Amino acid sequence: MISKSTEPQTAEGAYQYALRLLTARDYSLARMRVKLCARGVDEADVESVMHRLQQEGWLDDRRYAGRFAESALATGRFYGPRLRLEMRRRGFEAGIISEVLENLLEDHDQAADIMMVVNRRYPGLDFSAASDRDKRRVVGYLQRRGFGLSEIFRSLRTTR
């Protein structure tokens, strides 16, 4: 069994640790800083490692935020305010979130996104013929994904 060292690490050791983390998935600057601090890395070493990772192109919040938002929108996992919340939870700055979402959301048709999610989650659903219980279930699911209530009803009533 491998145990984590509780002793403070050197700057080079912290850099190697950060690279290992980044081979598995992307991290925001904020999340990487938390990971390094939790590992017992000195604050000055954390800053030097963060700067080096950014200079070498390993850490880039704009790139990561863009990929995360594109993926969330493409899969219908998050939309609108929920997407913004999830991006904040991952440590992205408000300016980066606004910039990324402004560029992405202008290319997306919210009604088409709603129908994509509904058709994938509830294939063959006829909203006008569905029971009240099923309608509440579908609307609740879409709201939890971040779609607005008025847009949900507009999309579901006009397409089915």
Pair of tokens at residue 39: 């590992």
pLDDT in tens, 94-124: 999 999 998 887 777 788 888 888 888 889 8
> Which residues, given as ranges, of the chain have pLDDT below 50?
1-3, 160
The percent of residues in the chain predicted with pLDDT above 90, rounded, is 49
CB 160 within 8 A of CB 119: no
d(CA 92, CA 29): 8
Neighbours of 26 (CB within 10 A): 18
The pLDDT assigned to 1 comes to 42
Burial degree of 94 (CB within 10 A; 0-12, 13-18, 19+): exposed
d(CA 16, CA 132): 56
Pair of tokens at residue 75: 């899969």
d(CA 130, CA 146): 22
- List strand residue ranges (DSSP E) for the chain, in order: none
Instruction: Say which DSSP state 7 is in.
Output: S
The pLDDT assigned to 10 comes to 85
